[in-house]
Structure 1
Amino acid sequence: MRYLTRPFAIGALRRGHGIEQFLGGVKIGGEPAIRWESISPMNGQYRISLHTVHDPDDDRVGDLANLISLDPVDEAYVGEGRELTLSEDAEEAMALAERLTDANPGRWVNHAVAGEEYMDYVGTRRNPARAT
C-alpha cells in the first residue's frame, strides 16, 4: 500500500518530510504534460507547489523532479514547482492543496513516490488491461 492515511501524511509533514500526489496528464499548448502537487515543510511553514512537466511517456522514468518543467519562470531551482501558497499548519496545508488542485484526499504519498504513480499511469495508458 503506497497511499498514506491522513494521520500518517500529517505526521510526515510535522516530522519534516514532504508529501506529494500525482495528478495526471494534461495538454499544455498542445504538448503532453503531467502534473503533481507537493507539500514541503520549509522554515516552520508548509509550501504547497504545483509541478507541470513534459510527459516523456516512459514507464521507466520515476524521478519526476528532473523532467523538463513547463513553468520554468516560476522555478528558482529545477524540480521546485510553482508555489501556490504557504500554510503554518500541516492539516490546513493538506486541505488547501486539495482545494486548489482537486487533489484526492486519499492519494497522498511520501516524497519521491509520485514517480511510481506516473510509471503506473504510463503502463495503464499503454495497456488498459493493467488497470483492472
Structure 2
Amino acid sequence: MRYLVEAFAVGALKRGQGIEQFLGRAATENLIGVRWVSIEPTRRGFVVTLHEVEDVGGDHFCDLLEFPPLDPDDEFGQELGAVQEPLAAMALAEGQAGAVHDRWVNAGVAGADYLDYVRAGRPSHDVF
C-alpha cells in the first residue's frame, strides 16, 4: 500500500520523517514540468514546500529530487509556511498547493506516482 492513512502520515512527521505528494503537471511559457509538495519536520515546525521541476524523467528516471527546478531561483522549492502541528501542515498543503488528504506518501515515494503519471501518457489533467 503506497498511500499513508492519516494516522501513519502524522506518525511519520512526529517521528521526524518527511512526507510528500505528487501533484501532476506544471508548466511555464517555455518548459513542461511537474509539481510535488513536501512536509518536513524542522526546528521551526513542520515546513510545507511546493516544488515545481522540469519533467526530465521517464520509466528509467523518476527521482523528483534530481529534477532541475522550473525557476532557477527556486532550487529548493517555494516554502508555503511552517506550522506547529502535522495536521495543520497537511491542511496547509491541501489548501495552498492542491494536495489531497489521502494521497500522502513517505519521503522519497512520490516518484512512484510520477512513474504512474509517465505511464499514463503525462496527462494534462488530474488522473490521481
What is the TM-score of this pair, normalised by structure 2? 0.89
8 Å contact 1:37–1:50 — kept in the other structure? yes
User: Structure 2 matches for 1:112-127, cutoff 5 A?
Assistant: 112-125=108-121
Cα deviation digits, residues 63-100 of structure 1 (max 9, x gap): 1011110133133xxxx321111111111111111111
8 Å contact 1:21–1:38 — kept in the other structure? yes
8 Å contact 2:57–2:67 — kept in the other structure? no
8 Å contact 1:23–1:35 — kept in the other structure? yes
Cα deviation digits, residues 6-51 of structure 1 (max 9, x gap): 1100010000000000000122113111000000001151110000
> Secondary structure of 1:125's match?
coil
> Secondary structure of 2:82's match?
strand
Shift of 1:107: 0.4
Q: Which one has the bigger helix percentage?
A: 1
8 Å contact 2:48–2:89 — kept in the other structure? yes
The answer for the alignment partner of 1:41 in structure 2 is 41
The answer for the alignment partner of 1:7 in structure 2 is 7
What is the TM-score of this pair, normalised by structure 1? 0.87
How large is the Cα RMSD of the aligned pairs? 1.5
**Superposition misfits of 4+ residues, deviation over 3 angstroms:** none
Provide the rounded CA distance (Å) in 1 between the counterparts of 2:44 and 2:7: 19
Provide the rounded CA distance (Å) in 2 between the counterparts of 1:16 and 1:72: 29
Count residues with an aligned counterpart. Answer: 123
> Secondary structure of 2:52's match?
strand
> Any unmatched runs of 5+ in structure 2?
none
Percent of aligned pairs with the same amino acid: 46
**1:86 alignment partner, one of 78, 82, 85:** 82
8 Å contact 1:59–1:118 — kept in the other structure? no
Provide the rounded CA distance (Å) in 2 between the counterparts of 1:40 and 1:57: 24
